[in-house]
């Protein structure tokens, strides 16, 4: 009887732990790792590169490969985030049907028609979401009265997670939000074809690196 009670208590605790531990939507990059990234890619200039495949706006390494913060757009297909050796490795990918947030190995998939989180891909497995763990998250496009626009993650109706904010004055911010305010590392695309990368605390610039433009062929 005593053994049965111990087993029952252990099962109850494990069940409670499983319910209270939220599923990781995607891999969170430690702030120290971001600082190292900024130390390294801060030397890479900004370029606008147009080809038959699409348009890339972002950083480029000395060997000509996309490297650092950038945006690639081709029709309805768009990727914004971090690039390494010419490949997109972390950020937001969208097409007309889905938004993918995270890395190639661990990401969250949202249905753009409904804004709902549909599944998490991790450890080469597609984990379907039944709405119990992550039902409060959405990925939507919001238009504001002042002319600004937000496309990204929401939690309980507030900007939370990764998103892209389009300012009326032409500036575009890619990065993270916490409880409705800009918070963390990201990139600020300026209308005069310039880029500033770094970390922000709400509207305060904590550490920002203005990049030089690359004078190369388009």
Residue 17 is predicted with a pLDDT of 28
Residue 212 is predicted with a pLDDT of 86
Give the DSSP letter string of 158-211.
EEEEEEEEE-TTS-EEEEEEETTEEEEEEEEEETTTEEEEEEEETTEEEEEEEP
Locate all alpha helices (DSSP H) within 42-79, ordered by sequence.
none
pLDDT category of residue 215 using cuts at 50, 70 and 90: low
With beta carbons less than 8 A apart as the criterion, state whether 145 and 133 touch: no
Average pLDDT over residues 61-90: 96
pLDDT category of residue 149 using cuts at 50, 70 and 90: very high
Average pLDDT over residues 42-54: 94
Give dist(CA 53, CA 157) in Å, integer.
Answer: 35
What 3-state class would DSSP assign to 15? helix
Residue count (the chain):
218
- Rounded to the nearest integer, the mean pLDDT of the chain is 85
With beta carbons less than 8 A apart as the criterion, state whether 111 and 119 touch: no
Tell me: pLDDT of 216 over 70.
no
Tell me: pLDDT of 10 over 80.
no
Stretch (H or E) spanning 88: strand 87-94
Average pLDDT over residues 41-56: 94
Tell me: pLDDT of 7 over 50.
no
Global pTM? 0.84
Tell me: pLDDT of 19 over 80.
no
**pLDDT tens-digit series, residues 165-187:** 999 999 999 999 999 999 999 99
The b/e string for 84-99 (b: 16+ C-beta within 10 A; e otherwise) is: eeeebebbbbbeeeeb
pLDDT category of residue 132 using cuts at 50, 70 and 90: low
What percent of the chain clears pLDDT 70, i.e. is strictly above it?
85
Residue 14 is predicted with a pLDDT of 30
């Amino acid at each position: 009887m005593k053994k049965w009670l111990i087993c029952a208590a252990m099962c109850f605790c494990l069940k409670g732990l499983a319910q209270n531990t939220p599923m990781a939507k995607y891999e969170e990059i430690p702030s120290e790792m971001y600082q190292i990234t900024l130390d390294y890619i801060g030397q890479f200039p900004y370029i606008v590169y147009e080809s038959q495949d699409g348009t890339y706006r972002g950083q480029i390494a000395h060997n000509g490969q996309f490297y650092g913060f950038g945006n690639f757009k081709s029709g309805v297909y768009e990727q914004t985030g971090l690039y390494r050796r010419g490949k997109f490795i972390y950020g937001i990918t969208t097409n007309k049907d889905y938004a993918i947030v995270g890395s190639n190995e661990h990401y969250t998939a949202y249905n753009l028609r409904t804004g709902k989180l549909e599944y998490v891909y991790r450890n080469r497995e597609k984990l379907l979401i039944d709405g119990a763990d992550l039902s409060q998250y959405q990925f939507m496009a919001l238009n504001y009265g002042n002319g600004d626009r937000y496309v990204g993650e929401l939690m309980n109706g507030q900007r939370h997670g990764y998103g892209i904010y389009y300012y009326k004055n032409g500036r575009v911010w890619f990065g993270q939000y916490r409880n409705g305010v800009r918070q963390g590392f990201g990139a600020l695309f300026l209308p005069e074809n310039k880029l500033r990368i770094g970390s922000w605390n709400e509207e305060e610039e904590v550490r920002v690196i203005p990049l030089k433009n690359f004078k190369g062929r388009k």
